[in-house]
Structure 1
Amino acid sequence: MTPDQIIDMFLDHYRRRGHRDAPESSLIPPPGDPVLFTTSGMHPLTPYLAGRPHPAGRRLVDVQRCLRTTDLDEVGDATHLTVFDMLGSWSLGDYGIATSVRWGHELLTEGFGVDPVRLHATVFGGDDQVGPDETAWATWTDLGVPVEATGAENWWSNGPTGPCGPDSEIFVWTGEGPPTGTPTGDDRWVEVWNHVQMRYHRHDDGRLTALPMSNIDTGMGLERLEMVLRGARSVFEGDGLRPWVDAVRDRWPLEGPDLRIVVDHLRSAVVVLGDGVRPGNTGRGYVLRRLVRRALTVLWRDDPERGLTELPLDPYADTLRRFRQPAGAQPLRAVLADEERRFRGLLRRGRPLVDRLRARGPLTEPDYRWLHDTHGLPRDLVDGLLAGAG
């Protein structure tokens, strides 16, 4: 199935069960929100999960573009992305986890055609404040899906404080032959969907108090689901990443983690630019700058003459369409080209500084701090491009 077909089937499944469309939000949270970017489908709905009535009702569904800086260091493997589409459904004080689990199982098996034998669930096993999630466990067991109980892995929160609760994660077997083992012991079990019972608010002192109503919040990454449905080994084989993979490979001999980092970071940078962020030294601008410069660091490691203007506009336009952004491809490529010029200038200024320090011996922690704090040279840049120069 194509990503567009997956989205249509997901939305239709919940619309037929009384869910209304929740409007998609920008990657940029509203003023006053302490988070730099929208990190999940539930993020824009936080006031409604806390009890405010939603104008569209108590059952909602949407597709939301998300960015997670916490995954930056994991990007380069087969399944993690910085920017991705999240398919989400919500019950605001309406139905409970048993209904959510059953509807999710129905969509995966009857809608998307996943063999039920390839499914495995995990549930919250309890801690010193909240008991085990017996309802989710019993529901999965009744559906014939094996269950593994865990601890903190099955407790969802959007930060150290705020709405939280036990979750039930759905995994699909991606290995050869019959499924074996459990999700915590075999990485061939790939998580595709999370069903959260948003029932509590965690306070600064760690206390949990009940929210005004018990909610359900589900989230499923589009690109990862597409990978599973295709029987692929990597999200980078999907339609949303393929234009970037092909464009990068056509120009430069990159493979493995290097290829995936460059593809992910450039695609993510385009989506961030599409929501109005521009490169800078702080906040969202710094995250964008880090994405672009990390991609360039990988590209220039073997050939410093490589340039982003060598890439065609097609992947830019494809990404903007898929993430429902009206920005033009040409102006965004011009922004990246300007950021590349700035980065080249930083390298020219930084190389003599690093060479002088290296002449005294290996770089020390105070050296790295001085290069970063005084001259804006981050450690990954120094290690990746400058320390090995000359």
Structure 2
Amino acid sequence: MNTDQIVRTFLEYFEDRGHRRITGSTLLPPPGDSVLFTTSGMHPLTPYLEGRPHPLGRRLTNVQRCLRTTDLDEVGDRTHLTVFEMLGTWSLGDYGGPSSLDWGYGLLTEGLGIDPGLLHVTVFGGDDLTGPDTASLEVWQGRGVPVELTVEDNWWSNGPTGPCGPDSEIFLWTGDTPPESTPTGDERWVEVWNHVMMRYRRLADGSLVPLPQHNVDTGLGVERLASLLQGRTSVFECDVFDPWRRLLPALWQLDEVSLRLVCDHVRSAIVVIGDGVRPASTGRGYVLRRLLRRVLTVLRRDDPSRGLGDLPDELVRHTLDRFRQDEDPDVVRRVLLDEEHRFGRLLERGRQVLARPRFRGPLSEEDLHHLHDTYGLPRDLVLNLRPQ
């Protein structure tokens, strides 16, 4: 299946089971949300997970674009992306975790054709505040799927306080050998789908109180699922990235990890700009600025003549279309080039500052803070200009 077929299969499967399809929001979370960007499909649904009736009912499904910067340093490996699409389902006080897991198993094995023998799951094993998730354990034992019990890895929360609960994660074996070990013991087990049984609210003192309604919140990354189903070795080889892998290697000669980072960060920057964010020194704008500076640092490391002006128009249009955004591609290109020019001026200032006697020796943490606070030179940029 190509990615569009996978998304369609997922949504139709749950529509056949009474779920209403809702429209995904932008990367900008709803007012009052403490995060800068939407990081999961549940963010726009927070009021409904807390008890407000949803106009389309108690069973919902959608595809939502998300941005996560907590994994920024891992981008370049096989599985992590900064901007991605997430498929999700929700039960707002309707069915429980066992039904969600049973349907999830059916979709993966029957709807998407995954060999059940390549699956492994993890389940919450219990702690001092709440017991083990025996209902989920019984579902998987009944299906003959091997289970690993964990504690911290299978407890989901949206922060130190707020909705939370046990979860069960489904993993797919990606090794060349028959499956072995467990998800926490072998990285060849790749997480595919997380089912959260959102039953509690954690208070500021750490205690748990039951939510007014028990919800189920599930999510799985589109690109990661597509790469696994298409037999690819990384998310950057699924069909979504076909235009990038066709055009960029001929344009910029990069090693594989650098190519992945450039593809991810430029693609993410286009989506962030498409949702109305512009580079700035704080907040969302700084996330965008940091993404672009990381790209430019990699591009210019071996060849100062490389720049975003060389980026093919096809990639800008492809990304905006993929994420269903209406922004003018020419506007996106202008934002990219303006930020590149700003970065060039910053590089020149950085070289002049670092040439001063004070900074000619090894740089201390105090030096790095001073360079940032006084001259606006980020740590990444300084270390690139003057490796320790």
Any idea what the Cα deviations from partners look like across 1:304-339, whole Å, max 9, x if unmatched?
110111111111111111111111222101110110
Amino acid at match of 1:231: G
- Is this contact kept in 1: 2:354–2:360, CA < 8 A? no
Any idea what the Cα deviations from partners look like across 1:115-145, whole Å, max 9, x if unmatched?
0000001000111111111110110010111
Match of 1:364 in 2: 364
- Is this contact kept in 2: 1:240–1:319, CA < 8 A? no
Match of 1:62 in 2: 62
Supply the distance in 2 between the matched residues of 1:303 and 1:265 (Cα, whole angstroms). 19
Match of 1:231 in 2: 231
Supply the distance in 2 between the matched residues of 1:204 and 1:192 (Cα, whole angstroms). 32
Matched, 1:114 2:114: yes
Amino acid at match of 1:162: G
Supply the distance in 2 between the matched residues of 1:199 and 1:341 (Cα, whole angstroms). 50
Supply the distance in 2 between the matched residues of 1:39 and 1:84 (Cα, whole angstroms). 9
Match of 1:88 in 2: 88
- Is this contact kept in 2: 1:357–1:367, CA < 8 A? no
User: For structure 2, which runs of at least 5 residues remain unmatched after alignment?
Assistant: none
Match of 2:287 in 1: 287
- Is this contact kept in 2: 1:244–1:267, CA < 8 A? no
User: For structure 1, which runs of at least 5 residues remain unmatched after alignment?
Assistant: none
Match of 1:40 in 2: 40
Any idea what the Cα deviations from partners look like across 1:338-378, whole Å, max 9, x if unmatched?
10000000011111111215654111111101110111111
Match of 1:206 in 2: 206
Matched, 1:103 2:103: yes
Structure 2 counterpart SS, 1:8: helix
Structure 2 counterpart SS, 1:241: helix
Supply the distance in 1 between the matched residues of 2:203 and 2:290 (Cα, whole angstroms). 32
Amino acid at match of 2:274: G
Amino acid at match of 1:190: V
Amino acid at match of 1:49: L
Amino acid at match of 1:279: P
Supply the distance in 1 between the matched residues of 2:261 and 2:305 (Cα, whole angstroms). 19
Supply the distance in 2 between the matched residues of 1:299 and 1:126 (Cα, whole angstroms). 48
User: Map of 1:240-251 to 2, 5 A cutoff?
Assistant: 240-251=240-251
CA root-mean-square deviation: 1.2
- Is this contact kept in 2: 1:355–1:387, CA < 8 A? no
Give the TM-score, by structure 2 length.
0.98
Shift in Å at residue 256 of structure 1? 2.2
Shift in Å at residue 241 of structure 1? 2.1
Supply the distance in 2 between the matched residues of 1:205 and 1:72 (Cα, whole angstroms). 31
Match of 1:272 in 2: 272
User: How many correspondences in the alignment?
Assistant: 388
Amino acid at match of 1:243: P
Match of 2:386 in 1: 387
Structure 1 counterpart SS, 2:302: coil
Matched, 1:322 2:322: yes
Supply the distance in 1 between the matched residues of 2:375 and 2:258 (Cα, whole angstroms). 27
Shift in Å at residue 103 of structure 1? 0.3
Structure 1 counterpart SS, 2:348: helix
Aligned identity (percent) is 64
Shift in Å at residue 245 of structure 1? 2.9
Amino acid at match of 2:280: G
Match of 1:347 in 2: 347
Shift in Å at residue 225 of structure 1? 0.1
- Per mean C-alpha deviation after superposition, the further-off stretch among 86-95 and 360-369 is 360-369
User: Map of 1:150-161 to 2, 5 A cutoff?
Assistant: 150-161=150-161
Amino acid at match of 1:342: R
Match of 1:257 in 2: 257
Supply the distance in 2 between the matched residues of 1:164 and 1:128 (Cα, whole angstroms). 15
Amino acid at match of 1:10: F
Match of 2:377 in 1: 377
